[in-house]
Structure 1
Amino acid sequence: MSVFRVMGICLPAMIFLSSCAGVQESVRNWDAGFLSVEGGADGEREVEVTVDGQPVKFLVDPGFGAMRLLNNSAAQQIGLRPSAIAGGYEIGPVMLTSRSSTAQLDSENYTGPARFHWFGQDVTTRADGLISPVVLPYGTIRFELGPSQIGEEIRSLPLEGSGIYGVSGGYGKLLVRDDIIRVAIDLNVEDAVASADVGALLRETNGGRFVGVSEEREIRYGVVRPVLRLVLDNPLIVAGLRVEWVFVEVERAGMLAQEDSDPETIIVTARTNRNDRDYRLTLGQAQLRSCTFFEFNNQASLLSFNCTFG
């Protein structure tokens, strides 16, 4: 899956994406209205801005990483020069390092300096980059999924807003036992995907068994990781949404699940030190089937789902 490990440190030249969340980026205009975009896999959710006077189209992305992430080709075309501040984005054992620079941002509700990141490769073919809802200058960003339904209601998770230099945050927070699972959404995939640490946690709290053979899947930003299906004895409830099984990151592809398997031999990438654990869960389209919309309420710091809950 995608996202960050809390490092607990701030380094002047390297800012890890989920660390130092108490330092807030200055770009804020959360009273400035409402933005509605299409939430389907191919839905229109592009926003147009200018960066240093050049037109840029961002795809609004509800996944992990509270940042404005340009394609490498777009950053080069704009002429951005990397500063001393970089970002570290951790996906299992893989660490992606982004470069960053401040530039003049002109958009509907904000004009001024803002920080932009980019990796060594492009991150989307649909636009010039990706932008998180929590760094968009709107009070609420709604992802429309379908027509209104009888019996629908809104349920919410606390929302972690953007943090230091516009990189950390951008996820909902789900309390399981005494641990907080970071929850994001990937509109390009069908199924939920969990980190190894979440897989180990859910085996303890919800029970379950691994089935099938592990296979490789793209997690985020082109990073491919092996995953194995975990069928839960008791569904995980995420703001009213039922998650009955998840793909869990494992060590290698081709691993065969067995009924009597020790989970520690399967989820070999789970961390033993609780303070270092990477609790992250990405919901896919399957978990949103009963929903009319979900939205990021930046003013109230809520990630909300409007659905019919079974």
Structure 2
Amino acid sequence: MARRLGAAAIMGLAVAAALPAKDAPRERLVPADGLVAARVGGAAMTMRIDPAMIAMPMLDSGHAALAGLKPGPFAMRFAVGPRLFTGHTAVAPVVLPGAAPFKRRIGWAVQARTAGIAGAIGPGGLPEPLVRFTLRPPIAGERTVTLPMMKAGGLFGDWGASDAMILVGGQPMRLRFDPHHPRTLATAGAAVRLAAAQGGTLSGAPAPVEIAFGIARPVRTLTLARPLAIGPLQLAVLGARNGDYGRTSAIAEAEPDPDELVVVARGKKADPARDRLNLGADMLARCSSILFDKPARRITLTCA
């Protein structure tokens, strides 16, 4: 029977053994679409290097079978909103263009993270110490901001996505770079904090927005009276996931209904460490590059 661990422990193992090969180049340049011709185990496939992805490579079950991966002793579980996925892991060699083969613990589940793509890997899982995502050609007048990289957790090391840290209301918040999703989104807890700090109001009916693995979550529009500055970027309008990792019922309505009474039940206090803001393509279209400097634990964003 497979030995089942929590996601933190499993993904910690993914990075614990992730040491750069001696002859690996110092910096990897990732194209705008992130797609690379990879080889995992015994199979060639197209993978995406994704700044929003966790360090552990993830495949769908069909490509894991093509690669000859066999379930190891460590199973995995992970959640997208309220949906819980289960899958398997195994250690196998990975080959990416311009790099020597390197071994990683690879996870797979029935469903693909992104339809039509075999799998994905985040910057934390690559052997190069510097990973630069080239989103578009640079233009005159661009400015840069350098942000600290937050610890991703895990008993054996950083296993999760390579998130930056920003301050909202004087407290840290995770910032993730997600150029392959069109809209900037905040988890519910993050939306509440942004609204409190920047004077935010909600509007519009909830609409489904795809997050990952084909899972859509209800999202409303959050408008900030005082835009949030992230270096050269000014974030004034974003999506709020109104039921994930918190509740948005504490945020004022842009056009409140005088006859509506909102009752908020007592419950477990939301964990601010889970609050996260994902910058989507609507904001990152203004940026030419994102540089992940893993040894220095910092992320540099260059935008107009």
**Into which bin does the TM-score normalised by the smaller protein fall?**
0.7 to 0.9
In structure 2, which of residues 159, 162, 176 is the aligned counterpart of residue 170 of structure 1?
A: 162
Name which of 259, 268, 274 aligns with 1:278: 274
Over 3 Å counting, the alpha-carbon distance change for 1:271 and 1:91 in structure 2 is: farther
Counterpart of 1:138 (choices 109, 128, 146) is 128
- In the alignment, structure 1 residue 206 sits paired with structure 2 residue 201: no
Matched, 1:186 2:175: no
Matches within 5 A, 1:101-116: 101-107=90-96, 108-116=98-106
Output the CA distance in 2 between the equivalents of 1:70 and 1:85. Answer: 16
Amino acid in structure 2 at the alignment position of 1:305:
L
Q: 1:240 to 1:86 in 2, by over 3 A?
A: farther
- Taking the TM superposition and a 5 Å limit, the aligned residue runs for 1:248-259 are 248-251=240-243, 259=255
Deviation at 1:304, TM superposition (A): 1.4
Shift of the 19–125 alpha-carbon distance from structure 1 to 2, 3 Å rule, reads: closer
Match of 1:25 among 16, 33, 37: 16
Structure 2 match to 1:57 = 46
Q: Is the 8 A contact 1:86 1:97 kept in 2?
A: yes
1:121 matched to 2:111? The reply is yes
CA contact (8 A) 1:70 1:116 kept: yes
Query: Which letter maps to 1:246?
Result: L
Structure 2 counterpart of 1:137, one-letter code = P
Kept in 1: contact 2:114–2:212 (CA 8 A): no
> Bigger CA drift: 16-25 or 213-222?
16-25
Aligned to 1:91: 80
Matched ranges for 1:262-301 at <5 A? 265=262, 272-275=268-271, 278-301=274-297
C-alpha separation between the residues in 1 aligned to 2:121 and 2:15? 17
Q: Letter of the aligned partner of 1:105 in structure 2?
A: V
Residues 214 and 226 of structure 1 are in contact (CA less than 8 Å); yes or no, is this contact kept in structure 2? Answer: yes
Provide Cα deviations, 1:14-41, integer angstroms capped at 9, x if missing partner: 23249996995221228732222222xx
Give the counterpart letter for 1:146 in structure 2.
R
- Counterpart in 2 of 1:5? none
The answer on 1:14 being equivalent to 2:5 is: yes
Report the AA paired with residue 227 of structure 1. Answer: V
Residue 111 to residue 144, structure 1, CA distance change in 2 (3 Å): closer
* 1:38 aligned residue: 31
Match of 1:77 in 2: 66
TM-score of the two chains, using structure 1 as the length reference: 0.80
Q: Out of 204, 218, 227, which is 2:210 matched to?
A: 218
Q: In the TM superposition, what is the alpha-carbon distance from 1:129 to its structure 2 partner? A: 0.7
Mark the CA change 1:32 to 1:124 in structure 2 (over 3 Å): closer, same or farther. same
Q: Deviations over 1:61-99 (max 9, x none)?
A: 111422201122101222212223233333332222332
After superposition, the CA RMSD in angstroms is: 3.4
Residue 160 of structure 1 and its aligned partner are, at CA, apart by: 3.8
| Identity level (%) | 24
Partner of 1:242: 234
**Cα distance between partner residues in 2 of 1:93 and 1:300:** 34
Q: Which residue identity lines up with residue 79 of structure 2 in the other structure?
A: E
Unpaired runs of 5+ residues, structure 1, are 1-11
Match of 2:187 among 195, 205, 216: 195
Distance (whole Å) between structure 1 residues aligned to residue 102 and residue 265 of structure 2: 42
> Deviation of residue 103 (structure 1)?
1.4
Aligned residues of 1:60 and 1:130 also touching (Cα < 8 A)? yes
Q: 1:105 to 1:149 in 2, by over 3 A?
A: closer
Alignment deviations for residues 74-131 of structure 1 (CA, whole Å, 9 cap, x no partner) = 0122221222323333333222233211113344434343100112212234432111
The offset of 1:187, in angstroms, is 2.0
Q: Structure 2 unaligned segments of length 5 or more: list them.
A: none
| 27-36 vs 291-300, which moves further | 27-36
Aligned partners of 2:144 and 2:300 also within 8 Å: yes
Which one-letter code corresponds to 2:27 in the other structure? F
The change in CA–CA distance for 1:19 and 1:120 in structure 2 (over 3 A counts) is closer
Contact 1:62–1:133 (Cα < 8 Å) also in 2: yes
Larger mean CA deviation between 160-169 and 29-38 belongs to: 160-169
